[in-house]
Amino acid sequence: MEQTAAEKITAAEQKPSIYTLQLHELKNWLKDNNEKAFRAEQIFDWLYTKRVTSFDEMTNLSKGLRDSLSANFSLTTLKTIIQQESSDGTIKFLFELHDGYSIETVLMRHDYGNSVCVTTQVGCRIGCTFCASTLGGLKRNLEAGEIVAQVVKVQQALDETNERVSSVVIMGIGEPFDNYDSMLSFLKIINHDKGLNIGARHITVSTSGIIPKIYKFADENMQINFAISLHAPNTEIRSRLMPINRAYKLPDLMDSIRYYINKTGRRVSFEYGLFGGVNDQVEHAEELAKLIKNVKCHVNLIPVNYVPERDYVRTPKDQIFAFEKTLKKHGINVTIRREHGHDIDAACGQLRAKERKEETR
Ligand code: SF4
């Protein structure tokens, strides 16, 4: 009989992923194991430049060190279950984790490069009412290495055509600020010049609005892009779409965002999904313009995909343009996000929900 994911967790005796370690942590581990610290840079080179898939390929390390790495860490933590390609070049990956759970990662093609959207948790407990990822609740947090490995796996797929991952967005399944420490380690590893060397300005993290973590993140003073899933122009609509708004209220959220902008000097992005008949009227655009007046920001309008498990419908095209025009009239920077992978299961969590029904119940 096939094991359930929970049984696999109990059965699994998983070593930590080598991708979880930052360079200084790997140096410390080497020193503790009577090895030279400079080996850490050699190992990073094998992991992030040569992108090997086994410790045995790290041929400039001694056999003893390779065995020791292999005894203490795992290298291949994600197994590709599905790789779905859209006619626009978007590729959606479903990866299986060591304990049998699965996660989604998406490669999107833009004219400015290849962008990877990573997942930070198995499931999510935030409960946004428009999101398929939330249906089965939170199963567990990903460790930093499991998030890093998603980018490495996509880069390995791109290596076949000599292409490169040029940007990363943390907007997949899960709330990154609900798995804060792993998210932060992940950011440091992919940004490190000996790691994947993805520039801070090419990395975007998005939150549903966990206010204490917004203050904490502001104090990290990282130069990465910061997005907030706003989705509503007022408290009433936001609470309806995003229950988190009952715990972390809109006026307090706006205060934390102003703090972030003052502290970092950077502008923020507001993600605003357009849900037919809920938040997509011109009067909502007027209200939104008032809410974010004098906030250094950009608004991304996202025409939502129909999610079969939910009741929301798409906003007609002319209404999307009327919404955009209203914001522009108030001098707000706004773009309508191009849809990716419209012919595959592109909405957040849809592929996992469809393929892994037992996990999302
Ligand atoms: S939209 Fe994001 S934060 Fe909200 S439930 Fe889905 S995964 Fe969680």
Is residue 270 within 8 A of residue 230, CB to CB? The reply is: yes
Q: Which two tokens stand for residue 91?
A: 């590729």
Whether residue 352 is predicted with pLDDT greater than 80 in this model: the reply is no
Please check if 124 is assigned to a binding site: yes
User: Residue whose CA is closest, atom 4 of ligand 1?
Assistant: 128
Tell whether the model's pLDDT for residue 2 goes beyond 60.
no
Q: Give the model confidence (pLDDT) of 32-60 as tens digits.
A: 999 999 999 999 999 999 999 999 999 99
Average pLDDT over residues 206-217: 97
Domain regions of the chain by residue span: 22-72, 79-355
CATH class of 22-72: mainly alpha
Q: Which residue out of 130, 131, 275 has the highest number of ligand 1 atoms within 8 Å of its CB and is therefore the one to mutate?
A: 131
CB contact burial 284-311 (16+ within 10 A = b; e otherwise)? bbbbbbebbeeeebebbbbbbbebeebe
348 tagged catalytic: yes
Q: Which residues contact 74 (CB under 8 A, 6 or more apart)?
A: 14, 15, 16, 17, 18, 98
The model's pLDDT over 264-317, given as tens digits with 9 standing for 90+, comes to 999 999 999 999 889 999 999 999 999 999 999 999 999 887 666 667 888 999
Cα-trace Rg, the chain: 21
Range of weakest confidence among 257-261, 272-276, 321-325: 272-276
DSSP per-residue codes, 176-208: GGGGHHHHHHHHHHHHSTTTT---GGGEEEEES
Q: Please state, in angstroms and as integers, the Cα–Cα distance from residue 306 to each residue in 201, 202, 288, following that order.
A: 31, 29, 23
Burial of 326 (0-12, 13-18, 19+ CB in 10 A): buried
pLDDT digit string (tens) for 7-38? 444 444 579 999 999 999 999 999 999 999 99
Give the pLDDT score at 309: 62
143 catalytic per annotation:
no
To test the ligand 1 pocket, which listed residue (128, 130, 169, 246) has its Cβ within 8 A of the most ligand atoms?
Answer: 128
Residue 33 annotated as lining a ligand binding site? no
Candidates 96, 104, 146, 271; catalytic one: 104
State if pTM tops 0.85.
yes
Nearest CA to ligand 1 atom 3: 175
pLDDT in tens, 221-258: 899 999 999 999 999 999 999 999 999 999 999 999 99
Calpha distance 248→303 (Å, rounded): 25
The pair of three-digit structure tokens given for residue 23, joined into one six-digit string: 């360079």
Which residues have any ligand 1 atom within 6 Å of their CB? Answer: 124, 126-128, 131, 133-134, 173-175, 208, 348
Q: How far is the CA of 126 from the centre of ligand 1 (A)?
A: 6
Using 50, 70 and 90 to split pLDDT, how confident is the model at 4? very low
- Give the model's pLDDT for residue 307: 62
The pLDDT of residue 344 is 47
Check 143, 271, 297, 348 and give the catalytic one. 348
Q: Which of 208-212, 317-321, 328-332, 340-344 has the lowest mean pLDDT?
A: 340-344
Contact (CB, 8 A) for 232 and 238: yes
Which residues face 301 on adjacent strands? 272, 336
- Counting from 1 in the atom list of ligand 1, the atom nearest the Cα of 131 is 6
Tell whether residue 305 is among the known ligand binding residues. yes
- Count of beta carbons in the 10 Å neighbourhood of residue 265: 10
Please determine, for residue 346, whether its predicted confidence score (pLDDT) is greater than 70: no
Residue 361 scores a pLDDT above 70: no
Stronger pLDDT, 345 or 74, i.e. the higher one: 74
pLDDT digit string, tens, across residues 86-141: 988 899 999 999 999 999 999 999 888 999 999 999 999 999 988 877 778 899 99
Question: For 79-355, which CATH superfamily applies?
Answer: Aldolase class I (3.20.20.70)
Residue 343: C-alpha distances to residues 57, 92, 346, 355 (Å):
39, 11, 8, 16
**Ligand 1 site-directed mutation target among 124, 139, 242, 244, most atoms within 8 Å of CB:** 124
Q: Is 192 a known ligand-binding residue? A: no
Q: Say whether 74 counts as a known binding-site residue.
A: no
